[in-house]
Amino acid sequence: MNKVILEMKNIDKRFSGVHALKSVDFELKSGEVHALMGENGAGKSTLIKVLCGIHQRNGGTVKLFGEEVNFRNIAEAQAAGISVIHQELNMMNHLTVAQNIYIGREPMKGISIDDRRMVQDARVLFERIGVDIDPTVQLGTLTVGKQQMVEIAKAVSHDCKLLVLDEPTAALTQTEVEELFKIMNDLRDKGIGMIYISHRMDEINRISDRVTVMRDGEYVGTVNTAETTKDEIVKMMVGRVIYGDRKTESKVPPDAPVVLEVEHLNRGREVKDVSFKLRRGEILGFSGLMGAGRTEVARAIFGADRKDSGIIRINGKEVNIKTPEQAVKNGICYLSEDRKRYGLLLIKSVSENSVLSSLDDFIDAGWINDRRIEKVAAETNAVLRTKTPSMEQQLKNLSGGNQQKVIVARWLIKNSDIFIFDEPTRGIDIGAKSEMYELMERLASEGKSIIMISSELAEVQRLSDRIIVMCEGRITAELDCKDATQEEIMKYATMRETMKG
């Protein structure tokens, strides 16, 4: 049996007003992929930060290779053989691949950096992990998947014995996921232990040996992956069973009024002659492979990108939307797939973010009514079950799922009629996903209309009344939910010529 290389016992961590970790246990063996799962806010990231010395624990013990350790910073942890690959890569796009790997520890030739040796060392490193990347190219020219391989190579170059991968597949194509898993299997064969954090159950079943589940800062249990079902793991995570059956019958009356009509929309090479209708109370799913043009359609409708041509009608009236502000005035809201870049002010409070799009409504006699802002923000976020110590909490301190809820609160307060959800559950856990699904279904039942863009077929099938399929900027099919099998969706997602479903 593989030896235990990491043992964390009774780990306790408190922040002001928050008991983040409560007597948590975790262990990792050499040559093992051990999945760490739990809802957003369960304490997974805090546990990893305690391990790496970013946070100092308030109680418990950490043993690495049998010896008790207490790292004061991440550099000490790295020197001991621990490396972390974060979901949001922390590299320098303007430097070459080799420079990124060896920055701060470059091989020297006298008083100058030995670039030739650095490139050669990088080549040997890539051969060692079975990756074909040119060390001389600028990092920013690589895909996200290739950049992640560079991060892994960098970790291996530090003589890594314990590798933490935090949501490593969130932005990868299926081909890149397969390449990542191949590298992970090679590292496992070399005896490197890996902690794998992910919300994707199919990946957990494929790549992990064991699963440890956390909930609300507490240790729930550890199970062998091969001996445990998906439903059992989900129940451990959320304390209940979550069912996600495919929708087989539209809930939208056939005579429901059309609230949004798009005709012959074009923008560059990304959007080509796109036409569709959205009805009141409908969830219209947009499916397709990466680069199909779904997000580009949404941004053109919302005025975030200027369209080249096309007609947009709202409630039968033609509108010329050139900016997001004009879209909002016409009752359209947009939840971006990149919420941190386009949707959030991370150093502002929950209440400030919640009323960002409707601030004018909270001005009384020239003064901002902070008390009313906090009251409305608190009421709306309570409905959404946003987990936050207070409305004054900075948004950067909330989990990804709760940050997403604050954006939804913003548009509920604005009382928008047309919601565009772009990858609404990306990066959030299965419990938060279920809550997001319930929210979208409730909005639709109340007469709101929703365009939902998602890369998860099961998500599209569960929520959509109709499904628009795109490929290379064009609509290739329009399917009723009763006809939308995964095979049918994928057939049209890879079909270039426009067809009718």
Residue pLDDT, tens place only, 428-472: 667 777 888 888 998 999 999 999 999 888 889 999 999 999 988
Among the residue ranges 309-318, 459-468, 479-488, the one predicted with the least confidence is 479-488
Question: Above 70 in pLDDT, residue 414?
Answer: yes
pLDDT at 152: 86
Q: Give the integer Cα–Cα distance in Å for 53 and 291.
A: 39
Q: Give the integer Cα–Cα distance in Å for 172 and 29.
A: 27
Q: In this predicted model, which residue has the larger pLDDT, 347 or 429?
A: 347
pLDDT at 498: 47
Segment 224-279, tens digit of pLDDT: 999 998 888 878 887 755 556 788 899 899 899 999 999 999 999 899 999 999 99
> For the chain, what percent of residues have pLDDT higher than 70?
94
Among the residue ranges 295-309, 365-379, 392-406, 448-462, the one predicted with the least confidence is 392-406
Contact 65, 232 (CB under 8 A): no
pLDDT at 500: 42
The 8-class DSSP code of residue 144 comes to H
Question: Above 90 in pLDDT, residue 180?
Answer: no
Tokens matching residue 86: 């974060």
* Mean pLDDT computed over 477-485: 92
First to last CA, the chain: 54
User: What order do you get walking across the sheet with 210-215 strand by strand?
Assistant: 67-68, 59-64, 4-15, 18-29, 218-224, 210-215, 33-37, 193-197, 162-166, 82-85
Q: Give the integer Cα–Cα distance in Å for 345 and 127.
A: 42
Q: In this predicted model, which residue has the larger pLDDT, 195 or 493?
A: 195
Helix, coil or strand: residue 190: coil
Quick check: do 4-238 and 245-331+417-501 share a fold? Answer: yes
pLDDT at 499: 46
The 8-class DSSP code of residue 206 comes to H
Contact 423, 341 (CB under 8 A): no
**Of 328, 306, 330, 304, which is closest to residue 317 (Cα–Cα)?**
330
Q: Give the integer Cα–Cα distance in Å for 176 and 169.
A: 8
Q: Is the pTM of this model over 0.85?
A: no
What CATH homologous superfamily does 4-238 map to?
P-loop containing nucleotide triphosphate hydrolases (3.40.50.300)
* Mean pLDDT computed over 337-356: 80
pLDDT at 263: 97
Q: Give the integer Cα–Cα distance in Å for 461 and 484.
A: 7
Q: Give the integer Cα–Cα distance in Å for 309 and 32.
A: 54
CA angle 401, 402, 405 (to 5 degrees): 95
Place of tokens 């039942």: 445
CATH 3.40.30.10 fits 245-331+417-501, yes or no: no
Tokens matching residue 134: 């040119």
pLDDT at 501: 41
Residue 172 amino acid letter: L
Q: In this predicted model, which residue has the larger pLDDT, 89 or 207?
A: 207
Place of tokens 């800062």: 217
Contact 393, 386 (CB under 8 A): no
* Mean pLDDT computed over 42-58: 92
Contact 275, 312 (CB under 8 A): no
pLDDT at 80: 95
Q: Give the integer Cα–Cα distance in Å for 436 and 412.
A: 14
* DSSP track, 426-444: TT--HHHHHHHHHHHHHHH
* DSSP track, 12-62: EEEETTEEEEEEEEEEEETT-EEEEE--TTSSHHHHHHHHTTSS--SEEEE
Summary mean pLDDT of the chain:
88
The 8-class DSSP code of residue 266 comes to E
Contact 260, 277 (CB under 8 A): yes
Q: Give the integer Cα–Cα distance in Å for 391 and 229.
A: 38
Q: Angle of helix 174-189 relative to helix 115-129, nearest 10 degrees? A: 90
- C-alpha torsion sign, points 296, 301, 306, 310: positive
311 forms beta bridges with 263
Segment 66-108, tens digit of pLDDT: 999 999 998 999 999 999 987 666 788 899 999 999 998 899 9
Among the residue ranges 4-18, 194-208, 347-361, 396-410, the one predicted with the least confidence is 396-410
> For the chain, what percent of residues have pLDDT higher than 90?
52
* Mean pLDDT computed over 282-301: 92
Q: Give the integer Cα–Cα distance in Å for 411 and 335.
A: 9
Q: Where are the domains of the chain?
A: 4-238, 245-331+417-501, 339-416
Contact 460, 454 (CB under 8 A): yes
Q: Give the integer Cα–Cα distance in Å for 356 and 490.
A: 38
Q: Give the integer Cα–Cα distance in Å for 364 and 173.
A: 50
* Mean pLDDT computed over 137-153: 87
Distances (CA, A) of 149 to 127, 142, 186: 12, 10, 13
